[in-house]
Homo-oligomer: A and B are copies of this chain.
């Protein structure tokens, strides 16, 4: 068996998320499994670093697949890209040790959330940005963001109904860039995320930016450990999984760099 690691880019608009589902739903995992089967004849379930929800994009999702076929990585990548649909591509592919597991071995992930704060909706940004017409108080959002950096119990920011062992997570970076009235992005980096955590953080920051809660209220919100007190879940189209980091660097990982927006 050869264990292959893949770095994936996809436009999430027309996918019902990462995870294969029963029925006819179009998922990233399912499309990738179909392509692998078409090339190698083997039916395997690609193991992703984590699920992305319906409509969420990726520029650097990572997955691994174990195959009996022993193809040169460059050959396998070329063959997969020739049959994958246009909204999904393998940006890099390499052979990794047999015990490499894209989910379990992920050390950190970086997400980007894109907001279009112009006065009118923007056709060019409709698939990638959340449109917020009201002028945002970017400085207040930045202050609120800083209160979330560090190791905290993020129970207030996890999807309701979640049942994980612990909701303590470490956010190593949460930083906004851009300008009110134009494009604003928030980069969120951490060792692991609860379900909907990034979108719930952004939803809360958006309430701060629109004056519906103060930047100083975020500490109390963390302490409350109550999902009902945080902001709405920001819509999926603004979210993109930018990269996943591992102790062992992907051989072709430099390819991901000129790509970041």
A140 within 8 A of partner (CB): no
- Please, what's the 1-or-0 string for A1-26, where 1 marks a CB less than 8 Å from any CB in chain B? 00000000111000000000000000
Interface residues of A (CB under 8 A from B): 9-11, 57, 59, 77, 81, 86-91, 118-124, 126, 128, 179, 181-183, 255, 258-259
The 8 Å CB contact of A90, one of B81, B120, B128, is: B120
23 chain-A/chain-B pairs, Cβ below 8 angstroms? A10-B123, A11-B124, A11-B126, A57-B124, A59-B124, A77-B120, A81-B120, A81-B121, A86-B121, A86-B126, A87-B126, A89-B120, A89-B121, A89-B123, A90-B120, A91-B120, A118-B255, A118-B259, A122-B259, A179-B258, A181-B258, A182-B258, A182-B259
Minimum CB–CB distance for A52 against chain B, Å: 13
Q: 6 tightest CB-CB pairs across the interface, nearest first?
A: A182-B258, A11-B123, A87-B123, A89-B120, A9-B123, A10-B123
With A57-B124, A126-B87: A255-B9 Cβ-Cβ less than 8 Å: no
C-alpha spacing A182/B11, complex, angstroms: 18
Most B-side CB within 10 Å, residue of A120, A126, A179 = A120
- Chain B residues within 8 Å of A90, by CB: 120
Q: Assess whether B88 is in contact with A123, with CB atoms less than 8 Å apart.
A: yes
Chain B residue with minimal CB distance to A257? B182
Minimum CB–CB distance for A118 against chain B, Å: 7
Chain B residue with minimal CB distance to A178? B258
C-alpha spacing A41/B87, complex, angstroms: 41
C-alpha spacing A119/B91, complex, angstroms: 8
C-alpha spacing A86/B127, complex, angstroms: 10
- Chain B residues within 8 Å of A181, by CB: 258
Q: Assess whether A86 is in contact with B123, with CB atoms less than 8 Å apart.
A: yes
The 8 Å CB contact of A255, one of B11, B119, B121, is: B119
- Chain B residues within 8 Å of A128, by CB: 124
Chain B residue with minimal CB distance to A8? B123
Minimum CB–CB distance for A32 against chain B, Å: 13
C-alpha spacing A242/B52, complex, angstroms: 34
- Chain B residues within 8 Å of A123, by CB: 9-11, 86-89
